[in-house]
């Protein structure tokens, strides 16, 4: 664990191995007495000397399998640079596996596949992931040309990159947008071009990624949504409901369920609702029901043209 990070806090060690802080201090002293070159910074944590390395660690079948699963997901859900780096790291890890684990992985490899709906253009744009990572670490502002789905417009934005998230099968850049003077969620596949600028920023001047996520999930920033859905159609929303802020469900009558959500994007939510057709009724809020009706009228008019 000490080799996994530059500096490790005693509290982190205690939580990882489910031991007390007192036991951590005792074990650290034991390592020092055994000749392990440990350093420490008061109030910060412990670190190993740069030139010290333990012999290669041994992996269990379960750990080796977890690495294989990770490589399958990385292959489909990241940019070329990350895929190449992960593949290189996996080769190094495989080199220290025992023969039984190597054989186990070889047999399992061809029986695991991960599929995504990403097309070739999306894969090309995922190359921006590497640039975004560099900008985040180096605290540099970036300039992007971004295509907004709802307005169908492409605009030039100067943004402060806060972090990356992966949800709804897509990578998202969370950033402070100078054009809007507010925090925004930019889907990577909608970025047409990206350039790291010479302008820097101070992390402390902006919300952290964790703070942004907490804010997005705070009750005061989201609307309460209630839908009445036929029980026979519940299987069709079993997976996608979680992408739209699902919180709970309850019986309404013999044929219907009430499903509750928290979501701030009524426009996007309305498009999801309309896919349910006659099986879904909006109970609240009225604004959502109005959006669904307007969208249905627009769709009907288009189909009858």
Residue of 183, 180, 185 lying closest to 165 (CA atoms): 185
Question: For 268-290, what is each residue's pLDDT tens digit?
Answer: 899 889 888 889 999 999 999 99
C-alpha angle with apex 282: 277 to 285, nearest 5 degrees?
A: 145
Structure tokens at 19: 């031991």
CA distances from 229 to 146, 164, 224, 239, 247 (A): 36, 34, 16, 15, 15
Average pLDDT score over residue span 224-242: 88
Instruction: Report the range of poorest mean pLDDT among 58-72, 169-183, 208-222.
Output: 208-222
- Residue 191 CA to residue 171 CA, distance in Å, equals 11
pTM of the entire predicted model? 0.58
pLDDT at 219: 57
pLDDT at 220: 61
Residue 183's Cβ-side half-sphere holds a number of Cα atoms within 13 Å equal to 14
Which position has the higher pLDDT, 98 or 135?
135
Output b/e per residue, 221-249; b: 16+ Cβ within 10 A.
ebbebbbbbeeeeeeebeeebeebbbeeb
Examine the pLDDT at 124 and tell me if it is beyond 70: no
Question: For 51-82, what is each residue's pLDDT tens digit?
Answer: 777 666 677 778 888 888 888 888 877 878 88
Give the number of residues written for the chain.
Answer: 305
Contact 173, 161 (CB under 8 A): yes
- Residue 51 CA to residue 8 CA, distance in Å, equals 17
Average pLDDT score over residue span 100-127: 73
Question: What single DSSP character describes residue 214?
Answer: H
pLDDT at 139: 95
- Residue 281 CA to residue 300 CA, distance in Å, equals 18
pLDDT at 217: 65
Instruction: Report the range of poorest mean pLDDT among 19-28, 75-84, 111-120, 177-186.
Output: 111-120
Average pLDDT score over residue span 253-272: 89
Burial of 298 (0-12, 13-18, 19+ CB in 10 A): exposed
Average pLDDT score over residue span 85-102: 81
pLDDT at 122: 56
């Amino acid at each position: 664990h000490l080799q996994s990070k530059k500096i490790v806090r005693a509290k982190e060690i205690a939580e990882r191995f489910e031991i007390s802080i007192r036991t951590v201090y005792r074990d650290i002293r034991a390592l020092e007495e055994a000749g392990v070159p440990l350093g420490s910074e008061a109030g910060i944590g412990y670190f190993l000397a740069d030139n010290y390395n333990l012999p290669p660690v041994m992996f269990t079948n379960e750990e080796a399998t977890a690495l294989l699963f990770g490589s399958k997901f990385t292959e489909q859900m990241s940019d070329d640079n990350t895929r190449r780096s992960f593949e290189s790291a996996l080769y190094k890890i495989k080199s220290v596996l025992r023969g039984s684990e190597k054989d186990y992985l070889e047999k399992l490899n061809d029986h695991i596949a991960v599929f995504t709906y990403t097309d070739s253009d999306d894969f090309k744009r995922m190359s921006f992931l590497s640039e975004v990572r560099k900008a985040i670490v180096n605290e540099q502002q970036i300039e992007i040309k971004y295509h907004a789905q709802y307005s169908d417009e492409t605009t030039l934005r100067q943004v402060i990159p806060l972090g990356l998230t992966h949800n709804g099968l897509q990578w998202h850049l969370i950033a402070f947008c100078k054009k809007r003077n507010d925090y925004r969620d930019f889907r990577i596949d909608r970025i047409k071009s990206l350039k790291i600028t010479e302008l820097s920023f101070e992390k402390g001047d902006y919300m952290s990624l964790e703070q942004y996520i907490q804010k997005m999930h705070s009750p005061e920033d989201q609307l309460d949504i209630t839908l009445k859905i036929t029980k026979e159609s519940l299987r069709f929303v079993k997976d996608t409901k979680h992408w739209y802020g699902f919180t709970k469900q309850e019986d309404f009558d013999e044929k219907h369920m009430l499903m509750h959500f928290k979501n701030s994007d009524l426009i996007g939510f309305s498009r999801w609702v309309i896919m349910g057709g006659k099986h879904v009724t909006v109970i609240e809020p009225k604004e959502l029901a109005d959006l669904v009706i307007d969208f249905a009228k627009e769709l009907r008019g288009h189909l009858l043209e």
